Structure 1
Amino acid sequence: MSTAEEINTLLVANFGTDPRAIRPEMALRQLSLDSLALEELRLLIEERLGIDLDDVPLTSRDTVAELVAVVHRKAAA
């Protein structure tokens, strides 16, 4: 499963996001993710992919594509 697919799966399963609504150019806030949800998403990604995102500043203004890119870089490191 690709990084984008992993993140999409987490968004759908844990936050009730409509899979058709997830597009790379969308800001995370457009998916109704507030700061608490972003922290929960960070923890879910870390657990699922076995990576550490503590040094990654994640905001609701980030796009899905930006999140995928940073997670992909961390997973490849």
Structure 2
Amino acid sequence: MRTLLVTRFGTDPDAIRPDIPLHRLRLDSLALEELRLHIEDRLDVDLEDVALTSRDTVGRLVEVVHGKVSA
């Protein structure tokens, strides 16, 4: 997740921590949709039914993606 956030969205790697809300990483709703598509392509998972907002944290994002990959 860190690599994707840094390479695709220019996020400062030091800012990526589990407790940080996604909006603090400058991810708005459009960026979250783009991130969802990148994750789906890279990990071959379907996140269509996942509701994430910019108020969710990096940790929540990782938790949701991990749950989908494990399923």
C-alpha separation between the residues in 1 aligned to 2:33 and 2:3?
16
* Cα shift at 1:66: 0.3
Q: 1-side partners of 2:5 and 2:18: how far apart?
A: 13
Offset of 1:58 from its aligned partner? 1.1
Q: Could you list the runs of 5+ residues in structure 2 that have no partner in the other structure?
A: none
Identity %: 68
Offset of 1:16 from its aligned partner? 0.3
Q: Within 5 Å, which residues of 2 pair with 1:7-26?
A: 7-26=1-20
User: Which consecutive segments of 4 or more residues in structure 1 shift more than 4 A?
Assistant: none
Give the length in aligned residue pairs: 71
1:66 pairs with 57, 60, 64, which one? 60
Residue 14 of structure 1, CA deviation: 0.3
Deviation at 1:18, TM superposition (A): 0.7
Superposition RMSD on alpha carbons, in Å? 0.4
1:61 deviates by: 0.4
- 1:22, distance to aligned residue in structure 2 (A): 0.4
Aligned mates of 1:10, 1:47 — CA distance in 2? 12
* TM-score normalised by structure 1 residue count: 0.91
